[in-house]
């Protein structure tokens, strides 16, 4: 079964994850100092930081969107929502409010009358692949486009984005399932 992992953690939720990690670090450090004295503050900090980082990995790892052949699953650390593919009206690859490239799905129905599900948000591509981050994002764009093309969901791609993806990342230009604006 084909499965594509995507999703963008909103800034506010990411900030709460950071606050939770700091609180865990402080609690473990404080507990260590309380139990064993001030001489164990660095041991407490080390254990607290390790636990805080583990918590961040757990929270960010659980938060995301998983696209499967059957459905779309929007996950958060405290729950999951399954969306049917028939709720997807179209996709678009455009600029977002922070001048980043955003690949999003437009949804209808559900609890809100119309909604958007952001699958990917990346800085504009201005050069060929230079590192593992670029390679992973290129793979994600390609996997998501392939999944949407297989589901026959039209995707609008801004011409400058399509041109940069073709020129720098060697991704095929928009075809029958994609449309350029």
Separation between Cα atoms, residue 135 and residue 21, nearest integer Å: 29
Report the half-sphere exposure of 54 (CA within 13 A, side-chain side). Answer: 8
Go through 10-47 and write b for each residue having 16 or more CB atoms within 10 A of its CB, e for each that does not.
Answer: eeeeeeebeeebeebbeebbeebbeeeeeebeeebbeb
120 closest CA partner among 90, 144, 97: 144
Separation between Cα atoms, residue 88 and residue 77, nearest integer Å: 24
- Strand order of the sheet with strand 114-122? 114-122, 101-108, 88-95, 155-157, 178-180
Q: What is the pTM of this model?
A: 0.77
Q: Do the beta carbons of residue 124 and residue 99 sit within 8 Å?
A: yes
| N-to-C CA span, the chain | 32
Domains of the chain, with CATH numbers?
Answer: 9-62 (no CATH), 64-180 (2.30.29)
Identify the pLDDT of residue 116. Answer: 86
| pLDDT 10s digits, 37-71 | 999 999 999 999 999 999 999 999 999 999 999 99
DSSP 8-class letter at 128: S
Say which range, 23-27, 30-34, 56-60, 162-166, has the weakest mean pLDDT: 162-166
Indicate whether 176 pLDDT > 50: no
> What percent of the chain stands above pLDDT 90?
53
- Mean of the pLDDT values across residues 127-150? 90
| pLDDT 10s digits, 68-118 | 999 999 999 999 999 999 999 999 998 888 889 999 999 987 655 458 889
Q: How far is CA 102 from CA 58, 66, 99, in A?
A: 25, 17, 9
- Strand 88-95 relative to strand 79-84, pairing: unpaired
């Amino acid at each position: 079964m084909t499965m594509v992992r995507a999703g963008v953690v909103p800034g506010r939720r990411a900030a709460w994850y950071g606050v939770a990690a700091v609180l865990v670090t402080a609690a473990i450090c404080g507990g260590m100092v309380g139990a064993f004295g001030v001489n164990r503050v660095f041991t407490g900090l080390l254990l607290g930081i390790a636990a805080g980082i583990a918590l961040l990995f757990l929270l960010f790892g659980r938060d995301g969107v998983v696209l499967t052949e059957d459905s779309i699953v929007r996950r958060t650390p405290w729950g999951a929502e399954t969306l049917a593919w028939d709720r997807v009206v179209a996709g678009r690859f455009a600029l977002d409010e922070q001048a980043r490239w955003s690949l999003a799905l437009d949804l209808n129905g559900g609890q809100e009358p119309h909604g958007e599900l952001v699958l990917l948000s990346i800085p504009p591509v201005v050069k060929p692949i230079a590192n593992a981050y670029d390679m992973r994002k290129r793979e994600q764009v390609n996997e998501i486009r392939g999944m949407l093309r297989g589901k026959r969901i039209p995707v609008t791609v801004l011409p400058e984005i399509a041109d940069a993806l073709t020129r720098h990342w060697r991704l095929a230009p928009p075809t029958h399932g994609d449309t350029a604006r």
